[in-house]
């Protein structure tokens, strides 16, 4: 079964940039999996940030990060990336990547942000935006 592991989190100043990586393993073909990024701030529920289709042709972003975050994938490297720029203190959270064999979820943003549709979750990586 597919396994995913996040990396790249850390401490960054407001306005700075950070790139998160989600490495996948334990699967036959990564081409069959859509991938989403979620985050959870202290005292808040986990929320969707961005998602990408299995081929990379469809992408969705939460309004709060649109224009600042960019999701991409390199299936040859079995990796999905989340490039974050113009970071704000409110972006501080634990970021999780998740994979889903339900490739249709990226058709509608509301579907790709449903946590219950994802089968594999990483352990999370901390992103702290502070001066």
What does the pLDDT profile of the chain (131 residues) look like in tens digits?
789 999 999 999 999 999 999 999 886 667 789 999 999 999 999 999 999 999 899 999 999 999 999 999 998 888 999 999 999 999 999 999 999 998 788 888 899 999 999 999 999 999 999 99
**And the tokens for 75?**
């299936």
User: Element (H or E) spanning 98, and its range?
Assistant: strand 93-100
Distance from C-alpha of 41 to C-alpha of 45, rounded to nearest angstrom:
7
Q: In the chain, which residue ranges form alpha helices assigned H by DSSP?
A: 109-112
Q: What is the DSSP code (8-state) at residue 54?
A: S
Give CA 119 to chain center in angstroms.
14
Distance from C-alpha of 71 to C-alpha of 84, rounded to nearest angstrom:
9
């Amino acid at each position: 079964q597919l396994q995913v592991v996040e990396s790249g989190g850390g401490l960054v100043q407001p306005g700075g940039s950070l790139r998160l990586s989600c490495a996948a393993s334990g699967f036959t073909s990564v081409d069959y999996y859509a991938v989403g990024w979620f985050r959870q701030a202290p005292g808040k529920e986990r929320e969707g940030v961005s998602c990408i289709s299995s081929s990379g042709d469809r992408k969705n972003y939460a309004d709060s990060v649109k224009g600042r975050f960019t999701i991409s994938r390199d299936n040859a490297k079995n990796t999905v990336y989340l490039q974050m720029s113009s970071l704000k203190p409110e972006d501080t959270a634990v970021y999780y990547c998740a994979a889903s064999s339900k490739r249709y979820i990226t058709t509608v943003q509301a579907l790709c942000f449903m946590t219950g549709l994802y089968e594999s979750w990483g352990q999370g990586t901390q992103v702290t935006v502070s001066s």
